[in-house]
Amino acid sequence: MGGAFSALGGDVSSIGINPAASAVFLDSQGSFGFGLNTQNNAQSYFGDVTNSRDHHLGLIHAGGVLVAENAQIDSPWRKVSFGFNVNRQSDLTGEFITSGVSQTSIGNFFQEQAQGIPLSDLQLYSGESISSVYRYLGETQGTDAQNAFLGYQGYIIDPLIEDPTNTAYNTTAGPGGLRQDFTEYNRGEIQKYSLNLGTQYGQSLYLGINFNSHTLNFRSQTQFREFALNPNNTNQALVFENNLGVNGEGFSLQLGAIYLLPKRWRLSFTYDSPTWWNITEETAQYLQTNRLINNENVVTTVNPEILNVFDTYQLRTPGKIGAGLAYVFKQHGVLSLEYGQKNYANAALGPRSYTFYAAENKKIEQHFRNATMLKMGGEYRWNVWRLRGGLWHEQSPLKTSRNVGDYIGQSMGIGYSYGLMTIDLTYLRAERKREQVLFVEQNQISKQQINNVMMCSITLSL
């Protein structure tokens, strides 16, 4: 139903949308769902279009609800419900392959990274090694200095003057077109674990709260290759590899309410608090260059074999407010609508007392906005069968949606209910366009990401 379930409830997976959903249950239930995600990606790079596809199967949600009726008949508090739900919020797995001919070398990236760094910091002296200097630069100056070191030791950049105090650099890239290939392999997901408490007050009001624990696990490997099309170019080829690992734990709250209006209308309100994250990151890099010197190929490998482990930082992702409206056609079906807002400009890095994070938070405020989302869905019931469909539209979180476009999707499904068991099959298609800078501003990739998910859910009434 396109996720438009806020005003309905009565389904285990809907607890993650509206905590009051558990209070709608008449009986205790358990449910789980697994799905096959097929990701189709089309990347355009200077007119060359490359397609890639990735498949993976996994658990999408699982949980249950226990319902306890109030034995005091004269009490307005009719029942209380306890729920647990685990939901895959984001599937971060994917593969991207890009290839095209550019006139701008990645040497410009290393040149920019090196500006302002003394040449003496990039050179090797007696008793030093690639690993020791790379580690020292990371600990004292950061990632920019490490990139500059790789570029200098790989002969991609040269100082303007051969002096230890020199702080200006040129790229050694020669004229002519450059064949550039970029591959990106991502694995990971964001999971949300919810402990739920719901209650029914009177005949018409349902209330609920979720205590959410979030986990983030992400691994990414990118490999950039550049080949000179000009046979007289000194820099004939290079390979630049980056590996990233991210782990995080977060906490959030959700509040929700469902109210039964006259004539089978239902109204809902939800509030999702910000999620407070603690995140750790680690990186590793590798560079290899192939130069033409006196008509001979000279291969230089700069492999620090160092894992950079960064200090844990804080991330606050924005909260969300939402409202839903649904109409129930007796036993024949439902129509549902949900509207929400999320102000991405409220995201923040921390500790906020650090100057670096304060500057980055200013950029977030400048570039991000309050985005709206709209979901619509319906269900038709015929005997033991359920037919469903839905669609949704979420605005880009950026004020200028060039880098990240709107998120749109459609879904359809069929359900079969027999006795104490219900089986649901769902197909959904989601699409988003993105722009990605490939190290230098002149080199940009246009991406179209399409996810096709086939999901099966099984629900048992207890």
- pLDDT value, residue 52: 84
| pLDDT over 70 (residue 406) | yes
Q: What is the CATH number of the domain that holds 186?
A: 2.40.160.60
Tell me the pLDDT of the chain averaged across its residues.
93
pLDDT (tens digit, 9 = 90+) per residue, 78-121? 999 999 999 999 989 888 899 999 999 999 999 999 999 999 99
In sign, the C-alpha dihedral spanning 270, 276, 280, 285 is positive
Residue 301 lies in a domain: yes
pLDDT (tens digit, 9 = 90+) per residue, 30-39? 999 999 998 8
Query: What interhelical angle do 143-153 and 107-114 show, nearest 10?
Result: 120
Give the rounded percent of residues in the chain with a pLDDT score beyond 90. 79
Residue 126 lies in a domain: no
Residue of higher predicted confidence among 11 and 23: 23
Lowest mean pLDDT among 52-56, 67-71, 291-295: 52-56
The three state secondary structure string of the chain is: CCCCCCCCCCCHHHHHCCHHHHHHCCCCEEEEEEEEEEEEEEEEECCEEEEEEEEEEEEEEEEEEEEEECCCCCCCEEEEEEEEEEEEEEECCEEEEEEEEECCCCHHHHHHHHCCCCHHHCCCCCCCCHHHHHHHHHHHCCHHHHHHHHHHHCCCEEECCCCCCCCCEEECCCCCCEEEEEEEEEEEEEEEEEEEEEEEECCCEEEEEEEEEEEEEEEEEEEEEEEECCCCCCEEEEEEEEEEEEEEEEEEEEEEEEEECCCCEEEEEEEECCEEEEEEEEEEEEEEEEEEECCEEEEEEECCCCCEECCCEEEEECCEEEEEEEEECCCCEEEEEEEEEEEHHHCEEECCCCHHHHHHHHHHHHHECEEEEEEEEEEEEECCEEEEEEEEEECCCECCCCCECCEEEEEEEEEEEECCEEEEEEEEEEEEEEEEEECEEEEEEEEEEEEEEEEEEEEEEC
Phi-psi region of 188 (alpha: psi -120 to 50; beta: other; left: phi over 0): left
| pLDDT over 70 (residue 401) | no
Query: How would residue 334 be classed by pLDDT, with cut points 50, 70 and 90?
Result: very high
Average pLDDT of the segment spanning 188-201: 96
- pLDDT value, residue 424: 94
In terms of residue numbers, what domain contains 222? Answer: 12-105+173-461
Residue 162 lies in a domain: no
Average pLDDT of the segment spanning 215-229: 96
Residue 333 lies in a domain: yes
Residue 311 lies in a domain: yes
- pLDDT value, residue 353: 78
| pLDDT over 90 (residue 176) | no
Number of folded domains that form the chain: 1
Whole-prediction pTM: 0.91
Residue 72 lies in a domain: yes
Average pLDDT of the segment spanning 216-243: 94
| pLDDT over 70 (residue 42) | yes
Residue 4 lies in a domain: no
Query: How would residue 231 be classed by pLDDT, with cut points 50, 70 and 90?
Result: confident
Residue 235 lies in a domain: yes
